[in-house]
Amino acid sequence: MATVRLDQKGRALTRAIPSSFDQAIAKFFGTGPTDLDQAKAQHLAYREALLNAGVEVTVLPSDDQLPDSIFVEDQAVVIDGHVLLPVPGHPSRVPEQPPIAEFVTRQLSGTQVCRMDGEARMDGGDIIRLGDLFFVGRSSRTNDAGIEELRDLLTHLGHNLRVIEIPGHALHLTSISSTPTDSVILAPEGYLPEDAFGELPEGCEVRWMPKEEAYGCNTIGLPNGQVLVADGYPAVLDAIKSLGLEPVVLDMSQIREADGSLTCCSLFY
Ligand code: CIR
C-alpha cells in the first residue's frame, strides 16, 4: 500500500495464512502468533474490510513452508504501474517472492520490471509515499545498495526520495508510520527525530502520536474516505476522525504477534 497514492488503490493482492504462521519471525511488537484460527479470522475480516471499501482483492494460496508469507507488502514494490522486485532483507523470506512477482507482472503486463541483485536488500515495508514524495527506511532489512536501486527507479519516474534511519527497536518504516491520506503522515513520538521527514510540500503535515501507539500509526487510507486502523489505539482513532475520515477498526492482535501491521498484509497494484 505504501507506494501507491490514494487514487491508485483499486486492487490489492493478499496471501492466505499458512499453518506454520506460529513460526513467523517476531522480535519487535510480538512474540509469535499463538492462535491460528483467530489469525485466520482476523485476516478474513481484513480482506472483507478492503472488499467493503470497493477494493478488488485477490488471495494467493498459502504456503506452509513460508511462515511469514502473508506479508506480501515486503515482496514487491509497485510505483505508478512499474514493478521493483527487491531482494528481501531476511533470508528466510526470499522464497516467498516468486508467486507474488509472477502475479503482479502478469497483472501489469507490458510494464517495466526491475529486479534487485548483488548486495542490494530491501523489504517493501520500508517505503511510504506522501503524494509524489517517497520515504525509505534504512533498516535491518533495507541497505544502501537497495536504497540506490529504488532511487534510480524513482528518479526515472520523476519522484523524490528521502531516507529515514530506522531505530534498532523498530522493524520497518511502515512499522512506525503510514500515510492515511496523500497529505498526512502518522508517526509515533520517540522513534524518529522531529525533523526526520524534512520539510514537507505545502498542505502536508506529520501528526505525531504517543509513543505507546506506535503500532497504531500503521493505517490504510482508502479512496472512499475510510481508513483501516488497528484496534486499541485511541489517539490514532481520534486523529483519523479529526481528519474527517471514517475509521474501520480491525482486531490485528495475532498478526501483530508476528510483527505485521495492516499495510504488510496487502500489495496494491
Ligand atoms: C518479518 O519479520 O519479516 C515478519 N514477521 C513481519 C513483516 C512485517 N512486514 C512489514 O512491516 N511490512
Of the candidates 99, 79, 97, which has an alpha carbon nearest to the alpha carbon of residue 87? 97
Q: What is the mean pLDDT of residues 201-213?
A: 98
pLDDT in tens, 227-247: 999 999 999 999 999 999 999
For residue 172 and ligand 1, the question of a CB distance below 6 A is answered with yes
Residue 126 above 70 pLDDT?
Answer: yes
For residue 125 and ligand 1, the question of a CB distance below 6 A is answered with yes
Q: CA separation (Å) from 111 to 67, 80, 83, 226? A: 30, 10, 7, 30
Residue 18: half-sphere exposure toward Cβ, Cα within 13 Å: 18
Alpha helices (H) in the chain, listed in sequence order: 36-52, 97-107, 144-157, 234-242, 253-256
For residue 265 and ligand 1, the question of a CB distance below 6 A is answered with no
Q: Which residue's CA is the nearest one to ligand 1's atom 1? A: 25
Look up the pTM and report it: 0.97
CA 14 to mean position of chain CA atoms: 12
Spatial separation of the C-alpha atoms in residues 93 and 176, rounded to whole Å: 21
Q: Given the CA of residue 93, which atom of ligand 1 is nearest to it?
A: 3
Residue 188 buriedness (CB in 10 A; 0-12 / 13-18 / 19+):
buried
Residue 12 binned pLDDT confidence (cut-offs 50, 70, 90): very high
Q: Which residue's CA is the nearest one to ligand 1's atom 5? A: 25
Q: Given the CA of residue 259, which atom of ligand 1 is nearest to it?
A: 6
Residue 122 binned pLDDT confidence (cut-offs 50, 70, 90): very high
Spatial separation of the C-alpha atoms in residues 228 and 239, rounded to whole Å: 13
Q: CA separation (Å) from 104 to 20, 21, 181, 243? A: 25, 24, 24, 32
Residue 134 binned pLDDT confidence (cut-offs 50, 70, 90): very high
**What is the CATH topology of the domain spanning 6-268?**
L-arginine/glycine Amidinotransferase; Chain A (3.75.10)
Q: What is the pLDDT of residue 2?
A: 84
pLDDT in tens, 93-109: 999 999 999 999 999 98
For residue 86 and ligand 1, the question of a CB distance below 6 A is answered with no
Spatial separation of the C-alpha atoms in residues 149 and 156, rounded to whole Å: 11
**Mean pLDDT, the chain, whole residue set:** 97
Residue 226 above 60 pLDDT?
Answer: yes
Q: What is the pLDDT of residue 111?
A: 86
Q: What is the pLDDT of residue 110?
A: 84
pLDDT in tens, 35-66: 999 999 999 999 999 999 999 999 999 999 99
For residue 257 and ligand 1, the question of a CB distance below 6 A is answered with no
Can you tell me which residue has the cell 520539510?
A: 199
Pocket test for ligand 1, best of 135, 264, 266 (most atoms within 8 A of CB): 264
- In the chain, at which residue ranges do the beta strands (DSSP E only) sit? 11-15, 56-60, 77-79, 82-85, 113-115, 127-130, 133-138, 160-165, 178-181, 184-188, 205-209, 220-221, 226-230, 246-250, 267-268
Q: What is the dihedral of CA 51, 114, 181, 255, to 10 degrees?
A: 50
Grid cell, residue 177, equals 508510520
For residue 90 and ligand 1, the question of a CB distance below 6 A is answered with yes
202 torsion bin: left (phi>0), alpha (psi -120 to 50), beta (else): beta
Q: Given the CA of residue 263, which atom of ligand 1 is nearest to it?
A: 12
For residue 258 and ligand 1, the question of a CB distance below 6 A is answered with yes
Handedness of CA 238, 74, 43, 251 (dihedral sign): negative
For residue 175 and ligand 1, the question of a CB distance below 6 A is answered with yes
**Contact status, residue 56 vs residue 12, Cβ threshold 8 Å:** yes
Q: Which residue's CA is the nearest one to ligand 1's atom 12? A: 125
Q: Which residue's CA is the nearest one to ligand 1's atom 7? A: 260
Pocket test for ligand 1, best of 25, 87, 259, 265 (most atoms within 8 A of CB): 259
Q: What is the mean pLDDT of residues 202-215?
A: 98
Residue 86: half-sphere exposure toward Cβ, Cα within 13 Å: 33
Residue 216 above 60 pLDDT?
Answer: yes
Side by side, the strands of the sheet bearing 226-230 are 220-221, 226-230, 246-250
Spatial separation of the C-alpha atoms in residues 7 and 22, rounded to whole Å: 35
Residue 186 binned pLDDT confidence (cut-offs 50, 70, 90): very high
Q: What is the pLDDT of residue 68?
A: 98
